[in-house]
Chain A
Amino acid sequence: MANRAQIASKSSALIAMIADEDTITGFLLAGVGNVDLRRKTNYLIVDSKTTAKQIEDSFKEFTSREDVAIVLISQYVANMIRFLVDSYNKPVPAILEIPSKDHPYDPAHDSVLSRVKYLFSSESVASSGRH
Chain B
Amino acid sequence: MLSAKHKTGLVFFPAFDWAISPTHPERQERLLYTQDQVFEEGLFDIEGITEFKPGLVTIEDVQRTHFCVPDPSAVMTESHFISAGGAKTIGTALMEGKIKRGFALVRPPGHHANRVVHGARGFCNVNIEAIMIEHIRHAYGVKRVAIVDTDCHHGDGTQDIYWHDPNTLFISLHQDGRTLYPGSGFLDEMGGPNAIGYTINIPLPPNTSEEGFLYTVKNAVLPIVEEFKPELIINSAGQDNHYSDPITNMNFCAHGYAELTRLLNADIAVLEGGYSIEGALPYVNTGIIMAMAGLDYSHFREPDYDPEKICQRPHVTRQIKETCDAAIALWQQRKVLAGQVRSEKGLSRRTRQIYYDTDGIQEHQTEIVKICGNCAGALLIDSSTNEQAHILAVHIPPDACYECRQQGLKWFEKAGADNFQRIYLQDRTTDRYQIKKQSI
A binds B: no
Question: Which A residues lie at the B interface, using CB under 8 A?
Answer: none
Question: Which B residues lie at the A interface, using CB under 8 A?
Answer: none
